[in-house]
């Protein structure tokens, strides 16, 4: 094996803080001690230790049992898990050039290390012997799921391939890991590269003062005159909603949708083609016609056609509504007498005008009630009322950036559940979007109950001057969404790490996150947390009534751009031949096939579709819609019994949040709900049917 070929780092093993036990509460990461040059040595030592643990399992002369093989695998790799948990989180939020270069060197070694396990014929023989005899082993349901997961990991890791195909598989995996890093780096570079500098104050017409102030601070921070607007959502969205200057809106819009498509050093079109071809080769090695078939075999959807059918059901309900919305916006433009045709860069702007016209409601009117601190407190309050958990600020734990907040999570009996890190503001080192991850995975084996350490990462509007961070409704829902993922990770009560927390099927993992979004905008909940940041006044009933009246406003647009992206993802990976593939031409063909109107583009165009090309959502973006069937139906259970009904909340905690992947997803859902979900709940939730 070529695994340990990197030059050794300077210093002895004891000098590397990543390899030492933490002195902080609960063994929390000691970020302030870690240097970018520490990771490489720690990874190499982690590889070495787990290889020794694997060798010991292989050398065992006892007959294979669940504990001496599967249990031993679960107990292995603790150092590697620790280092990975810190490194890969920071590589997306706070990495420097040293860490980025380290990542490029480490990823091929990660592939080789994984192969050291999954291609070990003796080890696989032990796993297979247990799997083939599982009916006679009196395993718990959780152990059965862990065993299945390992057996599938070995099979998907090449254990059944012949020698030539194993070599091909390893090379494909290495190339895919590097291409994924390249795509993400290009996307971040493109986002950071675009700047719109305005020096004429007249060109700020229409923008709210908060956006103007933030743009002034951004310009000053970068040593520029005037006002600086970027492609970060807190800057971009208000500009698209309120800027009167149509030419500048067009410039901002095109800057956003052309990321990775500028024929420069950060162009992603060739990277996409490379990734898709490699994925297809991988699928064919395992006997699948397409990568879509390969990916969905063990998901709730099972087949690409099942996922595609759900998407088209939603699409066929949403597209007519989006067309009607476009016609209504065009009428608004016609009334201005300028003779202009609605374009994509007009949609956000005229939607805000129409919202104010129809409902006397604007985002700027709502934002003062949704300060970041209040929204976060609201999410904590909901978790307490539903699941009996408390959040309190914790001192004495390290943070990796001054803006990160830390909390200890306590159960109703004050016992420790988890640590929670919150990282909410954009910066040049952080990729776009919002996500949840684990710094430390839970571990409950051999009497050791190591609780998880969870992080939520977002890119929300920054404070400006004396004004705190004020969130729009989409950002408010995003905070609750990622908090739902965090709860799924924090409340896990499984024994084995491989099925803990969010280690579930991709099309089930969005249930806890998406169901939490409902509480964000429930009138009863908003009255408890949505208080004006200056006066402390609770959000008025009049504003809530306007929000409810406008609840399905613009839902055609919102649904169409989301479903279009999910269909694009599916179409990419349902191909079996990529000869002559070109990303832009393919994207255009998909838009024409599904009838996407030109006033709306995909939520994520190909060249910055990070979910699919640098994240874990390849053939998985549909899962947001698949899980929405579950979350919309599940929330109706709360609406039937009361949104804070304790019994329903505790049932969701016990049967979904605590269970991780220890049972089949639909089994868990039916245990909570009492029946399979009704797909019409999604259409009702989006206002697409009565």
The residues annotated with a catalytic role in the active site are 482
Cα pseudo-dihedral 352, 355, 360, 366, rounded to 10: -60
Q: Which residue has the tokens 């020096």?
A: 199
Q: Specify the 3-state DSSP secondary structure of 392.
A: strand
* Residue 508, φ and ψ in degrees, nearest 5: -110, -25
* Gap between the Cα atoms of 310 and 607, Å rounded: 25
Distance of CA 475 to the CA centre of its chain: 14
* Gap between the Cα atoms of 571 and 574, Å rounded: 5
> With left for phi above 0 and alpha for psi between -120 and 50, is residue 96 left, alpha or beta?
beta
* Gap between the Cα atoms of 380 and 516, Å rounded: 11
Q: Which residue has the tokens 């929000």?
A: 547
Asked whether 36 and 96 are in contact (CB, 8 A), the reply is: yes
Q: Which residues contact 429 (CB under 8 A, 6 or more apart)?
A: 93, 94, 95, 96
Distance of CA 105 to the CA centre of its chain: 25
Asked whether 231 and 259 are in contact (CB, 8 A), the reply is: yes
Cα pseudo-dihedral 376, 409, 437, 378, rounded to 10: -20
Q: Which residue has the tokens 């990823």?
A: 107
* Gap between the Cα atoms of 41 and 43, Å rounded: 5
Question: Which element (helix H / strand E) includes 229?
Answer: strand 227-229
* Gap between the Cα atoms of 660 and 497, Å rounded: 10
Which tokens is 120 given?
A: 């070990």
Cα pseudo-dihedral 567, 572, 576, 581, rounded to 10: 140
Burial of 197 by CB count in 10 Å (0-12 exposed, 13-18 middle, 19+ buried)? Answer: middle
- Whose CA is closest to 686, among 311, 306, 317? 317
* Gap between the Cα atoms of 325 and 329, Å rounded: 6
Helix axes 141-156, 121-132, angle to 10 degrees: 140
* Gap between the Cα atoms of 680 and 690, Å rounded: 10
Beta strands 453-457 and 435-440, pairing class: antiparallel
Helix axes 246-257, 344-359, angle to 10 degrees: 120
Q: What is the DSSP string of 530-584?
A: -B-TTT-PBPPHHHHHHHHHTTTTTHHHHHHHHHHHHHHHHHHHT-S--TT--HH
* Gap between the Cα atoms of 632 and 648, Å rounded: 15
- E-assigned strand segments in 379-466: 390-393, 405-410, 416-423, 435-440, 443-445, 448-450, 453-457
């Amino acid at each position: 094996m070529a695994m340990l070929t990197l030059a050794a780092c300077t210093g002895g093993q004891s000098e590397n803080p990543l390899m030492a036990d933490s002195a902080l509460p609960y063994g929390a990461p000691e970020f302030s001690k870690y240097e970018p040059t520490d990771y490489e040595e720690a990874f190499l030592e982690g590889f070495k230790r787990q290889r020794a643990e694997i060798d010991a399992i292989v050398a065992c002369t006892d007959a294979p049992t669940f504990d001496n093989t599967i249990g031993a695998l679960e107990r292995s790799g603790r150092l590697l898990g620790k280092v990975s948990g810190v490194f890969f989180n920071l590589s997306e939020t706070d990495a420097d050039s040293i860490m980025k270069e380290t990542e490029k060197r480490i990823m091929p070694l990660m592939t080789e290390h994984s192969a050291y396990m999954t291609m070990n014929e003796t080890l696989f023989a032990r796993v297979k012997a247990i799997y083939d005899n599982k009916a006679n082993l009196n395993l718990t349901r959780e152990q059965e799921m862990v065993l299945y997961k390992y057996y599938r990991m070995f099979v998907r890791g090449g254990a059944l391939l012949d020698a030539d195909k194993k070599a091909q598989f390893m090379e494909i995996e290495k190339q895919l890991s590097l291409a994924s890093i390249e795509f993400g780096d290009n996307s971040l570079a493109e986002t950071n590269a675009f700047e719109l500098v305005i020096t004429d104050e007249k060109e700020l017409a229409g923008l709210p003062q908060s956006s103007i102030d933030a743009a002034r601070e951004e310009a000053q921070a970068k040593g520029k005159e005037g006002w600086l607007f970027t492609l970060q959502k807190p800057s971009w969205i208000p500009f698209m909603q309120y800027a009167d200057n149509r030419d500048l809106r067009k410039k901002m819009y095109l800057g956003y949708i052309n990321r990775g498509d500028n024929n420069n050093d950060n162009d992603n079109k060739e990277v996409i083609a490379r990734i898709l071809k490699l994925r297809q080769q991988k699928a064919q090695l395992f006997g699948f016609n397409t990568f879509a078939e390969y990916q969905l075999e063990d998901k709730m959807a099972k087949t690409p056609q099942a996922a595609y059918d759900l998407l088209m059901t939603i699409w066929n309900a949403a597209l007519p509504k989006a067309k009607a919305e476009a016609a209504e916006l065009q009428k608004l433009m016609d009334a201005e007498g300028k003779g202009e045709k609605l374009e994509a860069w007009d949609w956000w702007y005229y939607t805000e005008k129409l919202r104010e016209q129809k409902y006397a409601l604007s985002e700027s009117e709502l934002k003062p009630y949704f300060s970041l601190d209040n929204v976060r407190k609201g999410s904590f309050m909901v978790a307490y009322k539903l699941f009996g958990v408390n959040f309190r600020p914790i001192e004495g734990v390290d943070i990796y950036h001054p803006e990160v907040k830390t909390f200890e999570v306590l159960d109703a009996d004050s016992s420790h559940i988890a640590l929670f890190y919150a990282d909410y503001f954009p910066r040049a080192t952080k990729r776009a979007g919002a996500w949840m991850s684990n710094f430390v995975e839970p571990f409950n084996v051999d009497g050791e109950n190591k609780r998880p350490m969870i992080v939520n990462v977002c890119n929300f509007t920054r404070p400006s001057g004396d004004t705190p961070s004020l969130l729009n409704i989409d950002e408010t829902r995003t905070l609750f969404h990622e908090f739902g993922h965090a709860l799924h990770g924090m409340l896990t009560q499984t024994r084995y790490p491989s099925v803990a927390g969010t280690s579930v099927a991709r099309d089930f993992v969005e249930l806890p996150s998406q169901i939490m979004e409902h509480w964000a905008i429930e009138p009863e909940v908003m009255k408890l947390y949505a208080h004006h940041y200056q006066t402390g006044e609770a959000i008025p009933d009049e504003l809530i009534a306007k929000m409810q009246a406008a609840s399905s406003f613009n839902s055609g647009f919102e649904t169409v751009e989301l479903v279009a992206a999910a269909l694009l993802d599916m179409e990419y990976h349902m191909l079996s031949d990529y000869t002559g593939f070109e990303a832009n031409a393919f994207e255009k063909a998909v838009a024409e096939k599904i009838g996407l109107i030109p006033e709306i583009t995909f939520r994520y165009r190909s060249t910055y579709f990070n979910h699919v090309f640098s994240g874990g959502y390849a053939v998985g973006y549909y899962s947001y819609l698949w899980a929405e069937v579950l979350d919309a139906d599940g929330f109706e259970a709360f609406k039937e019994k009361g949104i804070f009904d304790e019994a329903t909340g505790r049932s969701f905690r016990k049967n979904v949040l605590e269970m991780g992947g220890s049972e089949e997803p639909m089994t868990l859902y039916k245990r909570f709900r009492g029946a399979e979900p009704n797909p019409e709940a999604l259409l009702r939730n989006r206002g697409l049917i009565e």
